[in-house]
Structure 1
């Protein structure tokens, strides 16, 4: 087979990000065309054209391989329609079902298969071992087009039946082809680099070459004086989980000692070490496959243990011997009970003070997620957030906080005694939701604190990335500009919904850990000092706040104390059990707060953590390291498919639509002008540029589906879909629901969703046809109520003076903790019915109404009142217009819970 000649000549975002699915479709298309040709209803020219489009990129995959492709080409060229159809069908089915990973017959033509005896070295089930996980290894070598079959055969001969895994090589001959293979082939788990390969591909790769240039991954941009090491660096930027091996026939000792070789797992002498390479590759994958806690838990469950501790359910005897709850055991199975224990010995470990396999599992998670430290948390990211607040925030510290963040941050500050300086996100009034907090608002808050001489009190910036609705911050820019104002700020990024992003090269730079890594690298570059000094010279000695607000600030790399924390709801986007969370740390000063952190763990973590939750976190890490790249690519493909099918459907699009990036993010925060993933004329280069440059971009896996135009409010539509169609959503707004694609979804899920939306749309049309003029008028009025008569979203007003005893004159922080606990005294509180005339009178003439607690309507799901906040007319108007049933902190029968003004005065400190 020749080297890859080209990829399909399309640069649409959905085509590029859905490459694996598109590959399956193209093989199915070739199979159908070949079948039609064999039946006399198709043409050889059509089959030949489809085949040429396929082989353009099949060199980036191990299967079907050069032999099968050559056989298929020969049959097509010689007019063997039936033979071509049969082979195309077999290859297509093997790719779609992935049977080639376990069936040796899939790799050979029928003629060859009949003549070849069974071979233990082919990718098949190992006798007596069950299924062996399959992966592919990229081999970058000069003359791969000529040497490819030889390389494949050499590596196959090294296989043994006792190998734990089985893999196939994918040979390419250039820097560009290596990067393209890493992007397009999710099955790659290792890379072997021989010296002497070319910078550029001899083949025509215009689309991918443009992409590589836009991402700074082309040979011209990244290649240094040592091309193999430059390639290793580039591959790690795309796929940091890959093991990379370098085979050299020169001074391997010198290469291994090069600081640039940090991305190389092993340097080997090419002349004599092919077996050593094979063993290293298997060991590298085994290292990621190992799950220290889960492995020990399985071993523990197999042992005959007598338990004399307080956990009757352990070992399952109380369940399986019972006449009344035996069905529980039948439902869950035996292992879940055998794997339960209160003990932290006998092969297990303590989550509170891990010293064994939990400690090792956390260290492996830190490696996988790009952190220095990781803490496993078994009671959700709500607890992870509170741990960070308790460990890092002291009473009186000021925390810049998104008012619309998860309630755990607000309660965390109540417990820690930190003073929130609330900053409002940009509003999306039409859809009754907020976006994210503009960087200008964050900078202004810091500069206001600086102007009042109180910047030293600012301890942390606490933001949600990405938001529930998919708004992603430019995390690097936020941290750099904030550090330019206060170099030791701590950042807490709540990435509860975004943990999967680590495994996408397009999303990773926008994660907390990805941005922290980039800033660390920038700090070590001498150019960072030059850039900082040049900007300082331009700004002058005492630049105005206005000037600083309009400038893209560069921090002093010699002064930065990079302290970044990321909380991650592993269970929300990876294969972990509910409440499984990880707390990621990349803090240069962590040694100074480590003791406090352990105290926070002792405070919030259960002394009886669920063993299965810990194991699932261990397993989730394993899965993402070994197949996360492909799983996330699939989630993106699913989301783009839903967008396309909903918005382009001639019937569904009359009543439903998925909002575009331009509808979710105002123009001023999309500096590149990016409109949407599927906007005509938009290509993936535009998307990559948006990801790099825009202040906010949209997570492609999160889709806001407008249902108000179909006459449904969000809650009503969510219930309809769950009750009548078994389709579940999570978040709703007044006129929309949020769809999330994840690593669990399949194209069958998309097909079911589209079928149901079409059925509902047709029912709407049928009802309108029956209802006549009055029916149309009522439908229009309902839509107007949902889509136009929406209440304005209330911004945070201010804290009452009683709880601003040490606050600045212009900054809005307050002592929320005192307000929260003052409401514990019943005689100091009062209730006012929401619609009572007294509420209006007090809004007009006073005394001010002071919220005694958090009031959180669902939707929108953020606190519109916090303890100590003065209630504004806008908040009351919003509350009165709300038509949701679930409002935490508000009892309709009693009304608003308020702190009495005279009681509040007792809290004013002199």
Structure 2
């Protein structure tokens, strides 16, 4: 991929996000312009040619943004034609700086084309900019119009005249004349918040932009011949909603507006107007739409509460801060945190604060706004992290005896949820990545095999839930549409719980959204209601009249559910604080359940059971604010974060020195070929086109989230824990997750290119040091280094699989399915007389593995890293688990204390236990 550091500007077909590349190209144009202005007569022509090249590339796409705008772009072209290098450099520097700093949102001066500074501003400039109302949030409105471009300036002036001092926001317009131009503007311009469609525009763009159609096709592929006559505007509205569902859409038509407004075609359009008979109403509607998304009901009320003179006679001495600011000893706490956080503390649920447990006011409105923003039917707030959210959902949708097909490597909160609910986990295994001491995700074939095994055993009716982690800690993304569709073909009323703890941001950009639970729920709901699907299903059903569980070919066949029986029942949990601007432990539970009326009571009971009666008010407010930010700028932020992660990957893997010792694992490294049907090896040129990447994300069984980077460090002689500590101590770089020979680098909306540069610099410095030690070290020292690398890269322990539950905790010991009663095993360990300990290194362990009696775990054993349970209560411990534990070199192992040994259930206790009972 070409970047601004290359000799030529990049084109649409070569970049992931042109919005990010655009800023680079303006900086490059600025540099070339300054070089031209300072050049000698001999060198000036070559610099001018470069300026012409960059301005030409930018000119092709700049009309999809309001700034710099047509007049400033024309002024640049004029200066170039007049060979006025000084004027060109001034204008280029002004535009470039304003884009980089965002000053075009705040100051009218940067919209000025007059380099003498006489105050002549653009005709499209909002009046509130002229009045200095810089605090008002700025956005842009896309107008898709059949009006000739020669009349666009007059239209902008008419819109500008409608703006008023009392307007809470300021906006400018971007005008295009076709369906294709509108789609491209929607994809490119993250400043857009509303789209106005004037019926009568054309389909094809008149712009000759290289790569334009490929860029659009990454996200939507439409054949104009399949669009019904007269439906171009409504089809565009539906297409924009697929790409950016948060945008407000308005349709101006000279047809029967009242009839169109009530039609299915107008679904998703906020308001239909009869042409332009009410321009002020359109203006007010645009502002009202932004106000709906900008409003944060809980945060707004909390601010009001903090400003009121409250007398507190409840349980919080810290409320209002008197105990802090009047203290002789803890006044520094108030100085550190400030007054607002203390003034906004309360135990009350009155005065506009509402109750999290029984919301009827602003918290209820927050939940409704979150459901809208994240594409769910219902939403609940979690204030104790997604660990608790998972337990709430599991306990709500499962009852004792229900079978849950679950990834054995899922977060421990799911396992504890099974203990609480009495559900029986049927553990299925993810594919191993032994070289990195981590697991990937569970193949669909494995999940289908589990369902068919239960069908063969006559227990399919008890299978209630499929419970998977999407995306995994290490970035493996399922194809939820495909997983749910094929599983629903086997059992049409299955409930799906997708733990998207790390993936909450994903719904806000169209590339990631296709891999999310809520995105899949919406897509499948629409699919199963269509006539096209019904015809497709009938043809498929003729070839597959019966799903025989003994038919092995069905494991690889594409299965389809009956549209008359299928129910879409999807639950998603995510840690808002992990990828959005929320305080720690902020979580959300999103629901798309067509049968939620049957679950609402149990869900509320589970919510009551696990939710504090004294939730943190600041945390609730931060969830409210996180929703506002993502609904208004989540598209731009998530695309920018993804683009940054791709840049960082290339900077590391393409660096001649760093790549000797470190590299970021690619999709080819992290996903076996059998699950990458597309054959994609890495994302983006020269490895693949972006259209191919989009197709792969649509079709492949697994894909790799670019924002989660496994940085392999074994070749540098570092294990993950060592490198994590080194980066923190020497370079002030914080890392969370590690493996035996890697660290996880996470990019989110908080990261900048300066952050990326800091990491690259640190890795470069470490690589130089290793190089020097290798060059100047003795033969013995080099041998020690080589042995260390070998132990980290080659001599890695095999990963253990789940064995089985002991027969004492199984209903049918001869069953092919492996579900078990984990709850009684868990609580048996509460009685010390039922337990024994054996030392991991003792001969007794090896003797019992060989001769018996079987060793049965009494509790969860979870090494960090990798962070998944290698033993669960009631599991028979086998040799591969013991070997793995003996090779572990991590210090933190939950549920295991080396001085005591492995905690086991005694054979005598097991002999007297009846399956399915707690005794």
**One fold, TM greater than 0.5?**
yes
- Aligned ranges 1:385-424 → 2 under 5 Å: 385-424=390-429
1:199 to 193, 203, 206: 203
Structure 2 equivalent of residue 814 of structure 1:
820
The superposition leaves residues 686-717 of structure 1 with CA deviations (integer Å, 9 ceiling, x where unpaired) of 11011100000011111000011100000111
- 1:266 and 1:11 map into 2 onto residues whose CA distance is 33
Of the three residues 642, 645, 650, the one matched with 1:639 is: 645
Gaps of 5+ in 2: 1-7
Q: Which residue of 2 aligns with 1:825?
A: 831
Deviation at 1:20, TM superposition (A): 2.0
**C-alpha deviation, 1:182, in angstroms:** 0.5
Q: Deviations over 1:646-697 (max 9, x none)?
A: 0011111111000110100000000111111145241101110111000000
- Identify the residue that residue 893 of structure 1 maps to in structure 2: 899
Q: Match for residue 871 of structure 1?
A: 877
- Structure 1 residue 540: Cα displacement: 3.6
Distance 1:808 1:256, change over 3 A: farther
Correspondence 1:40-51 to 2 at 5 A: 40=39, 41-42=43-44, 43-51=47-55
Paired position in structure 2 for 1:133: 137
Worse-superposed segment, 211-220 or 522-531: 211-220
What do residues 267-325 of structure 1 show as CA deviations (whole Å, max 9, x unaligned)? 11223211111110001001100000000000000000000000110000000111111
Task: Indicate conservation of the 8 Å contact 2:861/2:894, yes or no.
Answer: yes
1:302 aligned residue: 307
262-271 or 725-734: which moved more?
A: 262-271
Give 1:699's match in structure 2, choosing from 705, 713, 729: 705
In 2, Cα distance between the equivalents of 1:772 and 1:190?
A: 67
1:56 correspondence with 2:55 = no
* Structure 1 residues 13-60: Cα deviation after superposition (integer angstroms, max 9, x where no partner): xx5323222111111111111111111244322211111011111011
Alignment of 1:337-356 (within 5 A): 337-356=342-361
Alignment of 1:486-497 (within 5 A): 486-497=491-502
Q: Which residue of 1 aligns with 2:69?
A: 65
Mapped contact 1:121–1:157 kept (Cα < 8 A): no
Post-superposition shift, 1:533? 1.6
Query: Does residue 756 in structure 1 map to residue 758 in structure 2?
Result: no
Q: Give the Å deviation of 1:517.
A: 0.3
- Does the aligned pair in 1 maintain the 2:128–2:164 contact within 8 Å? no
Deviation, structure 1 residue 542? 5.8
- Of 908, 911, 917 in structure 2, the residue corresponding to residue 905 of structure 1 is 911
Matched, 1:841 2:847: yes
SS of 1:851's equivalent in the other structure is: coil
TM-score, length of structure 1 as denominator length: 0.97
Instruction: Please list, as runs of the form range in 1=range in 2, the aligned pairs for 1:106-505 lying within 5 A after superposition.
Output: 106-110=110-114, 113-114=117-118, 116=120, 122=126, 131-143=135-147, 145-213=149-217, 215-218=219-222, 220=224, 223-225=227-229, 226-505=231-510
**1:89 maps to what in 2?**
93
Using the TM superposition, give the Cα deviation of residue 507 of structure 1 relative to its aligned residue in structure 2, in angstroms: 1.0
Q: Distance in 2 between matches of 1:815 and 1:316?
A: 50
Q: Is the 8 A contact 2:576 2:588 kept in 1?
A: yes
Task: Report if aligned partners of 1:488, 1:561 keep a CA contact under 8 Å in 2.
Answer: yes
Give a deviation string over 1:548-568, Cα, whole Å, max 9, x none. 212100110110111100001
Q: Say which SS state the counterpart of residue 873 (structure 2) adopts.
A: coil
1:739 aligns with 2:780: no
Say if 2:145 and 2:197, in contact at 8 Å, map to a contact too: yes
Structure 1 residues 510-549: aligned runs within 5 Å:
510-541=515-546, 543=548, 544-549=550-555
Compared CA separation, residues 247 and 117, structure 1 to 2 (3 A)? closer
Q: CA deviation at 1:147?
A: 2.7
Going from structure 1 to structure 2, the CA distance change for 1:219 and 1:203 (only over 3 Å counts) comes to: farther
How many Å apart are 1:222 and its aligned residue? Answer: 6.6
* Alignment partners' CA distance in 1, 2:277 and 2:541: 56
Q: Deviations 1:464-494 (Å, cap 9, x if unpaired)? A: 0000000000100000000000000000000
CA contact (8 A) 2:737 2:744 kept: yes
Question: Over residues 577-596 of structure 1, what are the superposed CA-to-partner deviations in whole Å (9 max), with x where a residue is unaligned?
Answer: 00000000000110111011
Question: Take 2:826 and 2:336, find their aligned partners in 1: how far apart are those partners?
Answer: 44
Relative to 1, partners in 2 of residues 1:509 and 1:648: Cα closer, same or farther, differing over 3 Å?
Answer: same
Q: Say if 1:217 and 1:234, in contact at 8 Å, map to a contact too.
A: no
Q: 1:117 to 1:187 in 2, by over 3 A?
A: closer
Does the aligned pair in 2 maintain the 1:429–1:792 contact within 8 Å? yes
CA contact 1:11–1:683 (8 Å) conserved in 2: no
1:651 correspondence with 2:657: yes
Is contact 1:223–1:231 with CA below 8 Å preserved after alignment? no
**CA shift digits 1:117-158 (9 cap, x unpaired):** 899963655869660000111110014532321222111111
Work out whether residues 113 and 120 of structure 2, in 8 Å CA contact, stay in contact via their aligned partners in 1.
no
What does residue 507 of structure 1 align with? Answer: 512
* Alpha-carbon shift at residue 112 of structure 1 (Å): 8.0
Asked if the contact 2:109/2:119 (under 8 Å) is kept, the reply is no
Partner of 2:566: 560
Q: Does structure 2 retain, via aligned residues, the 8 Å contact 1:8–1:56?
A: no
**TM-score after normalising by structure 2:** 0.96
Residue aligning to 1:38: 37
Q: CA deviation at 1:351?
A: 0.2
- Measure, in 1, the Cα distance between the counterparts of 2:333 and 2:701: 51
- Aligned-pair CA distance for 1:500: 0.3
Q: What SS does the aligned partner of 2:328 have?
A: coil
Q: 1:388 to 1:222 in 2, by over 3 A?
A: farther
Root-mean-square deviation over aligned CA pairs: 1.7
| SS at 2:614 equivalent | coil
Query: Counterparts of 1:83 and 1:117 in 2: how far apart (Å)?
Result: 17
Please name the residue that 1:717 is paired with.
723
What per-residue deviation string (whole Å, max 9, x for no partner) do you get for residues 237-286 of structure 1?
A: 00000000011122111111111101110111223211111110001001
How many residue pairs are counted as aligned between the two chains? 902
State whether structure 2 residue 102 is matched by structure 1 residue 98. yes
Cα distance in 1 for residues equivalent to 2:694 and 2:225: 16
Q: Secondary structure at the match of 1:672?
A: coil
Aligned match of 2:799: 793
2-structure distance, mates of 1:62, 1:271: 22
Q: Is the 8 A contact 1:831 1:894 kept in 2?
A: yes
Q: Distance in 1 between matches of 2:347 and 2:419?
A: 32
Distance 1:522 1:57 in 2: 35
Give CA deviations for 1:605-633 in whole Å, capped at 9, x if unaligned. Answer: 00000000000000000000000000001
Contact 2:527 2:533 in 1 (8 A): yes
- How far apart are residue 110 of structure 1 and its match? 1.9
Shift of 1:220: 2.5
Q: Does 1:21 align with 2:26?
A: no
How much has 1:205 moved relative to structure 2?
3.4
For 1:618 and 1:810, locate their aligned partners in 2 and report how far apart those are by CA, in whole Å.
47
Moved more, 744-753 or 213-222: 213-222
Partners of 2:100 and 2:702 in 1: CA distance = 36
Structure 1 residue runs without a partner (length 5+): 1-6
**Native 8 Å contact 1:144 1:172 kept in 2:** no
Secondary structure class of the residue paired with 1:344 = coil
